[in-house]
Structure 1
């Protein structure tokens, strides 16, 4: 039977629901709440595609083999704790592999023309997982697996990762720090839990300027994101000319998320995603894949994720909670900081 092309798809496997760490149980597992919102808003039925488990060879492309073996052993030995934010339950490693597998499957669907865009559900964020390190809630790195897969199986020469999570994508940075074929761009709160993400972290020699950090201090929000994407990200990507964009989506940038100090509104987050989506339309024929990263589990995360999926996959804008703009902090030194970032990146790109 001939495959039918669809606008956008959601990659999911029910195995992901088995990961429900103790830190999340008061609010309910993050995925169950998100799926409920997607179903209530008519975004689930007809869009879901089954996510397969990621082959180990695909994970070994980006992670150290012994590191993966150790994660596997610790996961199946029983309940364990990598750190305060990374509990291990039995089969945690297998569940993480399904999250990465969904990204690989989404790449296949888009590159084969069976889908135009995709959103990948994961049981846990992955952007903190490095070549041989995990923690801060991450075990393996699905978005990195997807980016490398694009360069290996499909021989793409220019792939861009844009990470919008409030925490710096430390693992993603490490994995691609030496490469020019995968550009990593992270917009995040700084300083953060990982101690990484300064704007002077630009890549290794031979790949300088292909790892870009846009760090925001406490209180930055809609305007700062909008200007940085327009004045920095857009202009740099116009020169890089990505063939595919992977978007790391986190709801912890929102004003009401208790675990960050950024002040992005729900409307602002939709505008940010719209900007990135427009970049995909402009530079890579609309090929964009979004991966769920972090956020505090609860109704806010579920609602914001549904808004994201509606816009990304269907070009439809859901209603959002309005915020009085007078409540948002305005920083007089913002433009001088923007000039500082521009001066840093002008060493490698025309800005």
Structure 2
């Protein structure tokens, strides 16, 4: 069974007029999934909120308090792209908490895998700075939770968002227990993710960056992805797989885009699941990152969900 974690609290994170990361992303996706009849096949559950202590496993207390205080005082910009509204702090806690809810369900064998349909996204948020539409780093908080709650010491984070997850990389750059694998457009925002960025100290070799040119074709993308998954990820023998599932590598995405079709996300998902089946009893939790084509994001999510649901 595949579980989908969602709560209407995510719609209350108000980024203002004309911001690409807006509530319509989720509203349209849910309407589409219901009309396509896949919603009814999923085990839909509500998340709990992450605690301040759980968030502080990644982020500084001053960063957490800045977001909380900005929300309490009516909202404001943390940078030109990243806005906090009065309800954003609560939404961010529930976004991070969705992954923790999903992890518990997977570890307790109450579901096979899970997708967290959340906002705000997270992979640009560093341990000291919220940026790039992201407040808290949902997937990094999830990895820290797996480490502390379940004493698991080999976690892989796969990031196929078109933007490099600089915040996730920063969190685990010197940590050999977390393998971070990102494929992303380069050079591009946020300017990180060169292939020479491979980790530091005991974490050296446990960061894998695959920078891609804007005209990389889907067949090339998928070949590189499969090769890296077989050679580097499978050999790591992960005990849990997390996915930063951005859909802005889709060819028509309005603010980024590579050349992927919606159906390519199904291919990426099924191959990831095959590695997880071989290594860790299929334990996969995925969360929404980017993806800003309001009509086609739902189709990309549908393909991803079909890849999670189907038999491998």
Normalized against structure 1, the TM-score is what? 0.85
Q: 1:219 aligns with which of 188, 201, 215?
A: 215
Q: Does 1:194 align with 2:190?
A: yes
* Cα contact 1:218–1:262 (8 A) shared by 2: yes
* Cα contact 1:125–1:138 (8 A) shared by 2: yes
Name the structure 1 match of 2:24: 29
Q: 1:289 aligns to what SS in structure 2?
A: strand
Q: Does 1:309 align with 2:305?
A: yes
* Cα contact 1:162–1:186 (8 A) shared by 2: yes
Name the structure 1 match of 2:12: 18
Offset at residue 27 of structure 1 (A): 8.4
Offset at residue 287 of structure 1 (A): 0.7
* Cα contact 1:11–1:120 (8 A) shared by 2: yes
The number of equivalent residue pairs is: 310
Give the whole-Å Cα distance in 1 for the aligned partners of 2:112 and 2:22. 33
Q: 2:18 aligns to what SS in structure 1?
A: helix
Name the structure 2 match of 1:85: 81
> 1:144-175 CA distances to partner (integer Å, 9 max, x unpaired)?
11111111100001000000100000100001
Give the whole-Å Cα distance in 2 for the aligned partners of 1:156 and 1:228. 28
* Cα contact 1:229–1:275 (8 A) shared by 2: no
Give the whole-Å Cα distance in 1 for the aligned partners of 2:296 and 2:311. 21
Give the whole-Å Cα distance in 2 for the aligned partners of 1:279 and 1:159. 13
Offset at residue 238 of structure 1 (A): 2.4
Name the structure 1 match of 2:39: 44
Offset at residue 116 of structure 1 (A): 0.7
Name the structure 2 match of 1:157: 153
Give the whole-Å Cα distance in 2 for the aligned partners of 1:140 and 1:67. 9
Q: How does 1:308-327 map to 2 (within 5 A)?
A: 308-315=304-311
- C-alpha RMSD over aligned residues: 1.7
Give the whole-Å Cα distance in 2 for the aligned partners of 1:20 and 1:221. 35
Unaligned stretches of 5+ residues in structure 2 = none
Q: Does 1:205 align with 2:207?
A: no
Offset at residue 302 of structure 1 (A): 1.5
Give the whole-Å Cα distance in 2 for the aligned partners of 1:296 and 1:213. 23
Offset at residue 19 of structure 1 (A): 1.9
Offset at residue 24 of structure 1 (A): 4.5
Q: Does 1:111 align with 2:107?
A: yes
* Cα contact 2:162–2:258 (8 A) shared by 1: yes
Give the whole-Å Cα distance in 1 for the aligned partners of 2:111 and 2:51. 22
Give the whole-Å Cα distance in 2 for the aligned partners of 1:26 and 1:93. 16
Name the structure 2 match of 1:325: none
Give the whole-Å Cα distance in 2 for the aligned partners of 1:217 and 1:78. 41
Q: How does 1:138-287 map to 2 (within 5 A)?
A: 138-287=134-283
Unaligned stretches of 5+ residues in structure 1 = 1-6, 317-351
> 1:220-272 CA distances to partner (integer Å, 9 max, x unpaired)?
13122222122222211222100010011111101111222411112222212
> 1:280-330 CA distances to partner (integer Å, 9 max, x unpaired)?
1121111111100001150111221122112213459xxxxxxxxxxxxxx
Normalized against structure 2, the TM-score is what? 0.95
Give the whole-Å Cα distance in 1 for the aligned partners of 2:67 and 2:232. 37
Which moved further from structure 2: 282-291 or 11-20?
11-20
* Cα contact 2:265–2:303 (8 A) shared by 1: no
Q: 1:99 aligns with which of 95, 98, 114?
A: 95
Q: 1:110 aligns to what SS in structure 2?
A: helix
Runs of 4+ off more than 3 Å? 24-28
Q: 1:99 aligns to what SS in structure 2?
A: helix
Give the whole-Å Cα distance in 1 for the aligned partners of 2:22 and 2:2. 29
